[in-house]
Structure 1
Amino acid sequence: MTVALIDSGLGSLPTAARLRRARPDLDLQLHLDPDGAPWGPKPVEWTVRRVVDTARRAVDGGAAVVVLPCNTASVVALAETRSALGPSVPVVGTVPAIKPAARDCRTIAVWATAATTASSYQAALVQQFAADADVTAVACHGLADAIDRGDTDAVSAAILSAAERTPAHTEAIVLGCTHYPLVAGEIMASLPPAVRMYDSADAVAAQTLRQVDAVDVPPGAGALSVFLSGRPGSLPPQALSFEAGRVLAGAGADPLSARRTALR
């Protein structure tokens, strides 16, 4: 069983790592797009073509389930991807965890990219699920790009800026970009101890596993394949800066290599 995860950068790592821990037998395809990243500022039509073409390549390469662990891809291309692949291939999208945050808390800050923060999509989610809450939109300028580059100084600066613009009375923050869980520890350290964090990776992984269980395909062998703008490749070195990347790097290796990865 092969699951393909599609994101322009490292945003697929949190969900992929959760899938690896839950189901080590799954074969995973990670589709990154260094040639086209970031997708957020691109025209919608361009992004739709990019995502749909990548999904088709993934299915041609054996993927039985396709995941879009990327807010931009889910917002602009989820419906088109489902239409292009047809009913026999489940496609799992991503929704920022505004609903569970609003269920538990009254004051919420949504940390997201500038494009997502300004989108009608996020505004609609807030209106639908958090209309009775006090919600602040916090644009984390440059954070996703800094994560993709592995630029720790820029990551810290972006987090500090976002924390300074988060109201002091905030009870919860929602990570509205799938890259951000990779630096969740540093984000939490920048905020008061009582603040609660919500992200979508667990929910996306759980929905993916439900779709996997519903598809009649033989088990896999726990392989990891990486494609960079359609070309076979390997995990970018900066992925190993994050726990999720190290989990994936060790998954398909021989036991000795996996142990060495864990010890670094």
Structure 2
Amino acid sequence: MDNRPVLFIDSGIGGIPYCMEFIRENPHENVFYLADHENFPYGPLKKEDLISILITLTGKLLEKVNPKIIVLACNTATIAAISSLREKFPNVPFVGTVPAVKPAAEACNNGKVGVLATKRTIEDINTLHLADKSCEIYGVAAPELVEFVEKHLDESSEEEKINTVRKYIDIFSAAKADTIVLGCTHFLFLLEEFHREAEGHFKVFDSLAGITKRIEFLLDENNGSLRADKNIKKRILAVTYRNTTPFTGLGKTLRKHGV
């Protein structure tokens, strides 16, 4: 048995859907969620700067939290830094989140897949390698949508959410894409709205279920040696601060999800 926590890292609340999906399926595991608001948002950062930030952050968390698995619950962080993190910390199992381009490409009928993500993710060439070369990737960077989810989601009406989503549906419609990949974890907070607005026009893809399965695979290796004691049920939250001012949106969001 191993009661160390599974650590989820994101720049803000974006990784919460992945964290909650894992908790729902694995209620006996300890979980530590870190919202790195000091460096929010990750999307505009240069790749080398983001790698440096995450290596430093991971080193500190390994000392203070001692996680058994680290989940980069952020597409931008995964694409930019997971290879460097695995090289720097070879004894730590890392799980990354990447845009679900492969399944979207397989389901695509007209050869054009729309990817909604951060600027960093759209620009990274690795994203383009996730799909068959015969499939065209139409990428749209949406930093303002990340900000909307992080800072305004809780106080937004359903109409405001729908109008926000519809803007991107219209962009992909004009580009004649027939599948949409939500390539930023923040966008999963609007998953229901995306499905509703895309119905009959697009198929919407995300990587939510696949990440939980990957974590479970690592936990179950070696006869389940990384599994926690079933008598333990504990969830831990850590939040960094920007300019010494606590960001309150994370707490509200977690309470909504029962944490």
Q: Same fold (TM over 0.5)?
A: yes
Q: Which residue of 2 aligns with 1:164?
A: 170
Q: Which residue of 2 aligns with 1:206?
A: 213
Letter in 2 for 1:187: F
Q: What are the within-5 Å matches in structure 2 for residues 9-158 of structure 1?
A: 9-60=12-63, 61-87=65-91, 89-107=92-110, 108-125=113-130, 129-151=131-153, 152=156, 156-158=162-164
Q: Secondary structure at the match of 1:52?
A: helix
Give a deviation string over 1:136-179, Cα, whole Å, max 9, x none: 22232411111111343775554232111112654321111111
Cα–Cα, structure 1 residues 204 and 217, in superposed 2: closer, same or farther, change >3 Å?
Answer: closer
Shift, 1:240, TM fit: 4.1
Q: Distance in 2 between matches of 1:17 and 1:99?
A: 24
Q: Which residue of 1 aligns with 2:182?
A: 175
Q: Secondary structure at the match of 1:95?
A: coil
Shift, 1:84, TM fit: 2.5
Q: Distance in 2 between matches of 1:196 and 1:22?
A: 25
Letter in 2 for 1:72: T
Q: Distance in 1 between matches of 2:219 and 2:184?
A: 24
Cα–Cα, structure 1 residues 186 and 227, in superposed 2: closer, same or farther, change >3 Å?
Answer: same
Q: Distance in 1 between matches of 2:59 and 2:212?
A: 21
Contact residue 115 and residue 183 of structure 2 kept, 8 A: yes
Contact residue 106 and residue 133 of structure 1 kept, 8 A: no
Task: Work out the percentage of aligned pairs sharing the same amino acid.
Answer: 23
Shift, 1:132, TM fit: 2.2
Q: Distance in 1 between matches of 2:226 and 2:129?
A: 37
Query: Which of 198, 204, 228 matches 1:197?
Result: 204
Unaligned runs of 5+ in 1: 250-264
Coordinate RMSD, CA, aligned: 2.6
Shift, 1:28, TM fit: 0.6
Give a deviation string over 1:166-209, Cα, whole Å, max 9, x none: 12654321111111111101122222435221111211111111
Contact residue 37 and residue 241 of structure 2 kept, 8 A: no
Cα–Cα, structure 1 residues 44 and 133, in superposed 2: closer, same or farther, change >3 Å?
Answer: closer
After TM superposition, the score normalised by the length of structure 2 is 0.82
Shift, 1:41, TM fit: 1.1
Aligned length: 241
Cα–Cα, structure 1 residues 31 and 230, in superposed 2: closer, same or farther, change >3 Å?
Answer: farther
Letter in 2 for 1:22: E
Q: Secondary structure at the match of 2:238?
A: strand
After TM superposition, the score normalised by the length of structure 1 is 0.81
Unaligned runs of 5+ in 2: none
Q: Secondary structure at the match of 2:198?
A: coil
Cα–Cα, structure 1 residues 217 and 135, in superposed 2: closer, same or farther, change >3 Å?
Answer: closer
Q: Distance in 1 between matches of 2:148 and 2:52?
A: 25
